[in-house]
Chain A
Amino acid sequence: MRPAHNSEASEPAPRPGSMAWGLAAFVAGWLVPGLGHALLRRWSRAVVFCISVAALAAAGVWLRGMVFDAQSTDIFERLGFLADLGAGVLYPLAQSFHIAADISRAAGDYGTRFFAAAGALNLLCAFDAYAIATGRKP
């Protein structure tokens, strides 16, 4: 009898310290703020990063900041789009609210920066999760 092919059995699962495990932690942390550290059982970091990124993103939307999209033509708007994209799942969530940006006031301008900062901070956290998962950081 021919044995059934099992791809999961033939490929070893990612183990802590491996590059695949690091990439998994990075992608999880990028998509959902704090999830990368939660996978690594770094609970306090996961909670703090999740709250920090979510608070900045929520403040950005609340202040009616601009959330850039992929159709941006200006180089600074494209950079803003890349920073916003760093917020992971919070980016499409913020866009789904369809809140009209109001950058005629200082608060709206702060909102734009807050959301971009949330994205940049989340990427920093995702890299931190990668470093821990690959064993480069204790």
Chain B
Amino acid sequence: MAPLGHLAALALFAAVASAALAFQSQPTNRERLVYAAKSFVLFVGGAILLAWLLYPISR
């Protein structure tokens, strides 16, 4: 059994990277929260979209 599934690994990376980038680039807590949420959605959504786009050539 794998210790961490694909989606869980993606979510972990997206959450950590989003939080760190938000604190680096935004001055206030509210702006950080908005930036981190947007970044998280883009990380996860982008990866899932890319996975579906690559799916036809993977077989």
Residues of A within 8 A of B (CB): 44-45, 48-49, 52-53, 55-56, 59, 62-63, 105-107, 110, 114, 117, 121, 124-125, 128, 138
Contacts and interface: CB of A to CB of B under 8 A. Distances in A.
Contact of B24 (A107, A114, A124): A124
Given A62-B3, A107-B3, A138-B27, A125 B13 contact: no
Interface residues of B, number: 14
Contacts of A45: 23-24
**Looking at chain B's contact residues, is the secondary structure mostly helix, strand, loop, or mixed?**
helix
A48 B6 contact: no
Interface of B: 2-4, 6, 9, 12-13, 16-17, 19-20, 23-24, 27
A59 B24 CA distance: 22
A110 B4 contact: yes
Contacts of B19: 48, 52
A63 B4 CA distance: 8
Given A62-B3, A63-B9, A107-B2, 12 more contacts: A44-B23, A52-B17, A56-B16, A59-B4, A59-B9, A59-B12, A107-B9, A117-B13, A121-B17, A121-B20, A125-B20, A138-B27
B3 A63 contact: yes
A68 B28 CA distance: 37
B24 A125 contact: yes
B55 to A, nearest CB: 16
A107 B4 contact: yes
Contacts of A124: 20, 24
B6 A52 contact: no
